[in-house]
Amino acid sequence: MTFNKRIITAIATGAVLVNAMAPLALADTNLTVSGNGALSNNAVNVTNASNTVVNQTNNANITNNIHSDASTGGNSSNFNTGGNTTVVSGNATSNVNVTNAANLNQATVSCGCDNGSTSVNVTGNGAESANGVNVTNANSVFLNQNNDANFRNNVTSNATTGHNDASFNTGGDNTVVSGAASSSVNVDNRANANFATVGGPSDPNAGGSSVVISGNGALSANGVNLANVSAVVLDQVNDANISNNIHSNAKTGGNDAKFNTGGDNTVVSGAASDGVTVNNLANFNAADVNCDCTFAGLTAKVAGNGAESDNGIDAASVSSLFPDQVNDAALWNSLDGKAKTGDNTLGFSTGSVYGDPIVVSGASTSTTDVNNAGNVNLLDNGNSFTLPGNWNVGVNFDLQGLLSFLQLG
């Protein structure tokens, strides 16, 4: 008899995507302060602001409690007289596959640098006038990606064959055969990936600027303040807690052939094979930031103003990047793999004068593989990111690509 029991747990949670989010492009700004009379006081304040705020948060709590048992054998053929006695146990196979995939954030956001051109003219104002223009073009991108994954895999897998009994028989041959016992456990955990692309070659710089202060009267005070400010705040955080408690046992043998009279006595145990594989992949941050919201060109002119006039132009362009990439991974792997064959008994039997008792134990193999990979931060690595362990997700992927990720490709 062959008994196969297969348990598959596949859980995929938490994928948040933001693609092609572009801040609003602002129109051209044209300011003119001109033709105002003596002793006049003229002021213009203009602020063009574009703000993009993206928050992506995933939280996954996955617990798998799995018990898989495959057993064959435990047969008895005793106290028989005449003829041959044969006891055969089939193979016992237990296969457990656990696949957990959770928490993916992907965002493609434009810098929003395009504020159009800015033109400021302060001209032809009267003596002792006070004229001021303040223009601020501000672009800001706040991108927050956060993942929290808690995996608990408690797996017990047992495959047992044997424990047959052929004893107290008279006449004929006595044969006891146990099939192979095979236990296999595969656990694949993949959690927490953040991908961010902010800006790129397609993002234009801020438009050109022109400032002219000319032809204003004596003793006038004329000032222009022009600021172009860009800030990108990137926050990528991963926290993974993965615990694997695995017990895998493959056992064959434990057969008895005793107190038999006549014929040959043979006891054979099949092979015992145990294999445990654990792959843990957690915590990957990748960001490509290409934002430089500087002036495409600035033309400034101060000319032809009256005696003792006070004229000033203050132009500034500031582009700032504040990246923060944090990973915290806690992995616990407690693995117990056993493969056992033998423990057979053949004794107190009387066979033919030409026969010998035979006891054969199959091969015993136990294999355990543990692969841990995690805590990788990539900044300005281009717009395609490749993760280890065949967990590959390009930034420019469609829903099919997302589905492939959730299905682990």
Q: Which residues of 99-130 are buried (b: 16+ CB within 10 A; e: fewer)?
A: bbbbbbbbbbbbbbbbbbbbbbbbbbbbbbbb
Q: Rounded distance, CA 375 to CA 194, Å?
A: 11
The pLDDT value given to residue 22: 44
pLDDT-wise least confident of 123-132, 283-292, 365-374, 396-405:
396-405
Identity of residue 407: Q
Decide if pLDDT at 160 tops 60: yes
Q: Rounded distance, CA 165 to CA 260, Å?
A: 11
Quick one: CA dihedral 354, 359, 362, 364, positive or negative?
A: negative
The pLDDT value given to residue 395: 35
Greater confidence, 392 or 99? 99
Domain of 15 in residue numbering reads as: 3-406
The pLDDT value given to residue 159: 81
Number of structural domains (the chain) is: 1
Kindly indicate the confidence band of residue 105, based on its pLDDT and cuts at 50, 70 and 90.
confident
Q: What is the pTM of this model?
A: 0.74
Q: 398: which residues sit within 8 A by CB, 6+ positions away?
A: none
Torsion, Cα 32 37 41 43, to 10 degrees, reads: -10
Q: Give the best-scoring range by mean pLDDT among 230-234, 358-362, 399-403.
A: 230-234
The pLDDT value given to residue 362: 65
Decide if pLDDT at 9 tops 50: no
Decide if pLDDT at 100 tops 60: yes
Kindly indicate the confidence band of residue 26, based on its pLDDT and cuts at 50, 70 and 90.
low
How much is the average pLDDT of 38-45?
A: 87
Kindly indicate the confidence band of residue 18, based on its pLDDT and cuts at 50, 70 and 90.
very low
Q: What percent of the chain has pLDDT over 70?
A: 75
How much is the average pLDDT of 283-293?
A: 80
How much is the average pLDDT of 262-287?
A: 82
The pLDDT value given to residue 8: 33
How much is the average pLDDT of 339-350?
A: 71
State the chain's mean pLDDT as an integer. 76
Decide if pLDDT at 240 tops 70: yes
